[in-house]
Amino acid sequence: MGGNEWINGYLEAILDSGASAIEESNKAAHAVSVRDRGNFNPTKYFVEEVVTGVDESDLHRTWIKVVATRNTRERSSRLENMCWRIWHLARKKKQLEWEDLQRLATRRWEREQGRKDVTEDMSEDLSEGEKGDVLGEAITLDSPRKKFQRNFSNLEVWSDSNKEKKLYIVLISLHGLVRGENMELGRDSDTGGQIKYVVELARALAKMPGVYRVDLFTRQVSSPEVDWSYGEPTEMLTTDAEDADLGESSGAYIVRIPFGPSDKYLRKELLWPYIPEFVDGALAHILNMSKALGEQIGGGQPVWPYVIHGHYADAGDSAALLSGALNVPMVLTGHSLGRNKLEQLLKQGRQSKEDINSTYRIMRRIEAEELSLDAAELVITSTKQEIDEQWGLYDGFDVKLEKVLRARARRGVNCHGRFMPRMAVIPPGMDFSNVIDQEDAAEADGDLAALTEGSSPKAVPTIWSEVMRFLTNPHKPMILALSRPDPKKNITTLVKAFGECRPLRELANLTLIMGNRDDIDEMTGGNANVLTTVLKLVDKYDLYGQVAFPKHHKQSDVPDIYRLAGKTKAAAHGLPMVATKNGGPVDIHRALNNGLLVDPHDQQAIADALLKLVSEKNLWNASAKKWLEEHSSFSWPEHCRTYLTRVAACRMRHPQWQTDTPADELAVKDSLNDSLRDVLDMSLRLSVDGEKTSLNESLDVAASGDNPEVNDQVKHVLSKMRRQEPGPRDSDADKKQNDMPIKYPILRRRRKLFVIALDCYDSKGVPEKKMVTVIQEMLKAVKMDPQIGRYSGFALSTAMPMPELTEFLKLGNIKVNDFDALICSSGSEVYYPGTYTEEDGKLCPDPDYASHIEYRWGSDGLKKTIWKLMNTPEGAKSGHSASAIEEDVKSSNSHCLSYLIKDLGKAKKVDDMRQKLRMRGLRCHLMYCRNSTRMQVVPLLASRSQALRYLFVRWRLNVANMYVILGETGDTDYEEMISGHTRPSF
């Protein structure tokens, strides 16, 4: 023991406390502090301070082993070990709590500082009357209409008059297993309520007047561990065409896009690296579908998506990129928010932030949600609480600032580039097609009576028999809980409340529908623990014959389960609810008044509420009647009507160019293949055989002149392409295009595009000569290849501005016209040599691209804020520059703010800068480039990778046919360049 008497005191406390020391200590959380009692007692200190709050079940098991140990030496060793474990755990929890408080305090300070900066920049004051309008406007709940009709201002409610619109809507839900029938809800934590929600939303939207087609994008999974249906490319959700005018492509569809390993089912935390692949695949499908719909209903003009709606963080990230590439509005529904989950896990004190991030990839998820807020026009929530207490945790959303910016925009006052997304509360819709009337309910009661008496009724649902076999007296009222066995669903607290309340057990049965399972041991850890605990509690309280927990149920069984639960009171599906007093049920209860709300962590309150509803027949019937009278307010048609009304109020955007000329159509037919055909063939990647072609390995040698090794590597790349390419086809269309005058960039005729995006700069940010060598060798090798050169083009992607790039190319005697496209200034400008030129021959940037990336670009506000954040106040007072940056005027343009990094040690990290800009309502794409000698800020929709997607959409050159030549390292946007369906070569 080393003479440590305080350890002896702790061990003595454990011995004196007996086997229930840990359990009893948990109940002493509110005991008076030992320091207030006069003398310090180590035994009491350990029991009341150290052990309190520790509810690790394995510690109790260890204690039982200690008690059972007869060997004195072994027993002492075990006691000491357990003591140290408890002590360490308690200290860790206190440390995490302290860090959490520090983090929240820092965040509050940063938020207030951001509001202060915004107030200073937006100097125009609102009048007192206008201030009142701002504070009183907050639209909180737009549906249901009967109880929560709010001021829609001048919005026109969606109605049958919109029938002729024929809209195309895209929904995205990536993770889990998505199909239209026999949904495997509860199979795992990724296949839950969100899956049912998005499928039913797609069906319901497709039936609304004015909606022609709805595509629900998800992941294609062709794996032996899941059903074959999840590998089908498309699945039709609506089979009945009520309108004779609808065409062959109308209705709702599940569209499965392959991304990631096709033979594996991945949980959502592992999907992040493959998001760009999904974006490129989805983009190919949308372009083909837009063209097909244009031929059917658009008079030959492409029919672009009316809105792209992402569900959850991964789909929000994808929707932001798709929305940016297509320039159409984006809508977001979070479903479950990462910051809220992080806060809850940190409060538990069991894991550090690093451990949580390792398990849940929580920081990547939060950044995806922040990016979604950057791009979204509208965020749909289920409750007002979600807006205030959950989205309010994010850098990109501030309730107070959003109200101010909305008021200024309404008045036409300059917001200096600041933006906050609109939030709209629209409760989820419900399918009431299975609701039965009182006559049918009475018939169901007769069927149930026949079943319980042993006869064989003609139409009793199978799930009824599955539930009944657990119950001794199935005629008692039923308490129903239907959810997957996730720890956060609080099922175990419900079972404890039921088990410890004898009057409740005597009056009612408990039915638990906890997903589907074959073997608990084969389930994931959290779900298996919940089910194991439920079984132990059933045994502990001897609830056999009173609790039903069937192993399987189908999605189609759910209405029958509700019918069974409601039959004893002849109330059809009008079941009263006992629900949490936090979140969505609050708004539903306010509208319907159909039950009781409780603290979900208060076991006694749950038991009391259940007993009250079961024992008071009048309360039960009144709640059920209220639900039956008002439930249509929560129907899917009502939800969709409100949804379309809110979406119609968004800033409608669409591509700014025309692509319907006959000359263009000739190129379109060859350049854009059938939907997903090129994108599906991931075997085209240059590194597929395991050999990554590394141009960087010999760059230093190549810098001195022509180098055969570089040339050989380039030829090796081209040889791979020849093996994958069946050969050029000289069609009549090709010959016609070759004879045409250059009205559009020749890029339009290319079948393949080599994108050179090397970043080779010295310590001062000057491009190195070896970069010229690689470009020369690449041009020469491709042009000399007879199979590839005749139909391939080149693009150069760089952080340099156009004037500097031109001078740089002259050093290597490289002509600008050797390139079909030049992506300059980190993706803020796109040029086409030979097209868009002034009278003096000077190249002009693509005006459509400039218009495309203008979205949410506020250069004036960014200039002021970046200068303030990067400069030290000491330098400003002394009159000498103490800043880390200096404006690089030569490299800046109307859509690129460029700064020289004077002191890299004082420069802030990209993540920190992005956080502070978001808190001030500024949305942009910020990066360090040119060997970290420059910081460049471009619009949200601009980047080198998004510029490639722009070329895909604008000129129909598929990203699957783009080969990106990169170095081994690069600018901050390097990872964006190597991901997706482009073919990266290193």
Of the pLDDT bands very low, low, confident and very high (cuts 50, 70, 90), residue 548 is: very high
Residue 819 CA: distances (Å) to CA of 93, 262, 781, 795:
60, 36, 14, 5
Q: Spell out where 811-892 has E strands.
A: 821-824, 829-831, 885-887
Residues 6+ apart with CB under 8 A from 571: 441, 620, 621, 624, 625, 628
pLDDT in tens, 100-131: 788 788 888 888 888 888 877 776 444 444 44
pLDDT in tens, 841-870: 788 999 999 999 999 998 888 998 998 888
Helix (H) or strand (E) holding 423: strand 422-425
* Region for 821 from its dihedrals, namely left if φ exceeds 0, alpha if ψ lies in -120 to 50, beta otherwise: beta
Tell me the average pLDDT across 516-521: 83
pLDDT-wise least confident of 22-36, 387-401, 768-782? 22-36
Residue 341 CA: distances (Å) to CA of 107, 191, 391, 393, 535:
17, 18, 12, 11, 27
Burial 568-600 (b: 16+ CB within 10 A, else e): bbebbbbbbbbbeeebbbbbbbebbebbbbbeb
Q: Which long-range contacts (CB under 8 A, 24 or more apart) does 765-769 make?
A: 765/930, 765/931, 765/933, 765/934, 767/800, 767/808, 768/703, 769/703, 769/811, 769/812
Q: Token pair for residue 721?
A: 């392409």
Among 304, 297, 337, 338, CA closest to 323? 304
- Asked if 755 and 795 count as a contact pair (C-beta separation under 8 A), the reply is yes
Q: How far apart are CA 526 and CA 402, in angstroms?
A: 38
Among 254, 328, 239, CA closest to 287? 328
Among 469, 447, 466, CA closest to 457? 447
Q: Read off the amino acid at residue 194.
A: Q
Q: What are phi and psi of 5, to 5 degrees?
A: -65, -30
Query: Above pLDDT 90, what percent of the chain?
Result: 34
- Asked if 887 and 899 count as a contact pair (C-beta separation under 8 A), the reply is yes
Q: How far apart are CA 77 and CA 87, in angstroms?
A: 15
Q: Token pair for residue 901?
A: 């990094």
pLDDT beyond 90 at 555: no
Burial 91-127 (b: 16+ CB within 10 A, else e): eeeeebeeeeeeeeeeeeeebeebbebbeebbeeebe
Burial 139-175 (b: 16+ CB within 10 A, else e): bebbbbeeebeeeeeeeeebeeebeeebbbbbbbbbb
- Asked if 339 and 390 count as a contact pair (C-beta separation under 8 A), the reply is yes
- Asked if 356 and 340 count as a contact pair (C-beta separation under 8 A), the reply is no
pLDDT beyond 80 at 636: yes
Q: Read off the amino acid at residue 965.
A: I
Instruction: Please state whether the predicted TM-score (pTM) of the whole model is above 0.85.
Output: no
pLDDT beyond 50 at 3: no
Of the pLDDT bands very low, low, confident and very high (cuts 50, 70, 90), residue 160 is: confident
Instruction: Supply the DSSP string of 881-915, one letter for each residue.
Output: ---SEEE-GGG-BTTBEEEEES-TTTPPPHHHHHH
Residue with tokens 């520790």: 54
CA torsion through residues 798, 804, 805, 809, sign? negative
pLDDT in tens, 764-792: 889 888 888 889 988 888 888 877 777 88
Residues 6+ apart with CB under 8 A from 193: 185
Q: How far apart are CA 820 and CA 747, in angstroms?
A: 5
pLDDT in tens, 940-981: 999 999 999 999 999 888 788 888 988 878 888 888 888 776
Q: Read off the amino acid at residue 673.
A: N
CA torsion through residues 11, 15, 16, 18, sign? positive
Residue with tokens 């055969």: 708
Of the pLDDT bands very low, low, confident and very high (cuts 50, 70, 90), residue 28 is: very low
Tell me the average pLDDT across 675-696: 37
pLDDT beyond 80 at 549: yes
- Tell me how far the alpha carbon of residue 69 is from its chain's centroid: 52
Tell me the average pLDDT across 711-729: 55
Of the pLDDT bands very low, low, confident and very high (cuts 50, 70, 90), residue 671 is: very low
pLDDT beyond 70 at 165: yes
231: DSSP letter = G
